[in-house]
Amino acid sequence: MENVSLTRYSEITEKNKREIVLLRGSGCKWRRCSFCDYHLDFSPDEDSNYALNQEVLRHVTGKYKRLEVINSGSFVDLDARTLRLIMDICMQKAITEIHFECHWMHRNDVPQLRSTFAAHGIHANIKIGVETFDTIYRETILHKGIDESSPEKIAAGFDEVCLLFGLEGQTAASMRHDIETGLVNFRRVCVNIMVENTTKIKPCPAVIEVFMNTLYPLYRDNERIDILLENTDFGVG
C-alpha cells in the first residue's frame, strides 16, 4: 500500500461544504499550460495509482453528501477501477453530488460520465479551468488549449469554472470581467491566486494586491464563488 500524505484528503468547510480528494491518474493529456506544474503528479502504473487512490478514498466519510475529486488533469485520466470505487463510495456514504475536473479537449466525454453517475442518483458537476475569458491572453501566454472564444460555448458542457488571478497584465477591470462572465455562464466560479511554482510564470504581487483590495471584499461572501488564496486547485483541467 502506498504511503499517503493527508494533503490528498481535505475538507472545504466554508461555502459549498465538501470533502475533496487529490487522486492520481495517468496524467494530464494537455500538459502545456504555461503556469502549471501540477500535471507532474501522475503515474503510468495503473495498479499503483489505484492503490494510492484506494487509500485516499478510504478517508471519505460522506459527512457533507458532496465530494470533489481532483487529479491534476481530467477525470478521463483516472483508471476504471478508481472510477468504480468512487461510485461505490458515493453510494455507500449517500453522497449525492460529485465534482470532477475536465480539460476542454475531453468535453465530449462529459455526457457519458454524467449519465453513469446519474443512473445511481448522483449528480456530477464538471469543472473546467478557463483561467481568463481574454482569449488572446489565455491562448498566447497561458497556452490553455481552448480553441473557442465564446464563454457561452465554453460553458455549454460544464458547470463550474476556474479562473487564475495574480498574473502580470491583469487589472481590476479584467479580473472583474472574468468573474462576472463566469457568474453569468456557470453555476459556480472558483478563483485561484497564482503562487510561485517551478514554471516561468510568476505571481505578480501588484496584481494580487489590486485583487485583494478591490475585488476580494466585493466577492468574498458570494455563495457562488470560491476564492482559493493559495491556488490549491492542483491545476484544474
The residues of the shown chain that bind ligand SF4, judged by CB under 6 A, are: 28, 30-31, 33, 36, 38-39, 72-73, 103, 129, 235-237
| CB of residue 96 to ligand SF4, shortest distance in Å | 27
| CB of residue 99 to ligand SF4, shortest distance in Å | 15
| CB of residue 143 to ligand SF4, shortest distance in Å | 8
Q: Judged by CB, which is closer to ligand SF4: 151, or 237?
A: 237
| CB of residue 197 to ligand SF4, shortest distance in Å | 10
Q: For the chain, what's the residue count?
A: 237
Q: Judged by CB, which is closer to ligand SF4: 38, or 100?
A: 38
Q: Judged by CB, which is closer to ligand SF4: 43, or 214?
A: 43
| CB of residue 141 to ligand SF4, shortest distance in Å | 13
Q: Judged by CB, which is closer to ligand SF4: 62, or 203?
A: 203
| CB of residue 142 to ligand SF4, shortest distance in Å | 9
Q: Judged by CB, which is closer to ligand SF4: 19, or 77?
A: 77
| CB of residue 76 to ligand SF4, shortest distance in Å | 12
For 5, 60, 71, 93, the CA distances from 63, given in Å and listed in that order, are 21, 8, 21, 8
> Mapped to the 3 state alphabet, what secondary structure does the chain carry?
CCCCCHHHEEEECCCCCEEEEECCECCCCCCCCCCCCHHHCECCCHHHHHHHHHHHHCCCCCCCCEEEEECCCCHHHCCHHHHHHHHHHHHHCCCCEEEEECCHHHHHHHHHHHHHHHCCCCEEEEEEEEECCCHHHHHHHCCCCCCCCCHHHHHCCCCEEEEEECCCCCCHHHHHHHHHHHHHHCCEEEEEECCCCCCCCCCCHHHHHHHHHHHHHHHCCCCCEEEECCCCCCCCC
What are the cell numbers at 76? 478521463
d(CA 191, CA 207): 14
Q: Judged by CB, which is closer to ligand SF4: 39, or 89?
A: 39
Query: How many other C-beta atoms are found inside a 10 Å radius of the C-beta of residue 62?
Result: 16
Q: Judged by CB, which is closer to ligand SF4: 53, or 72?
A: 72
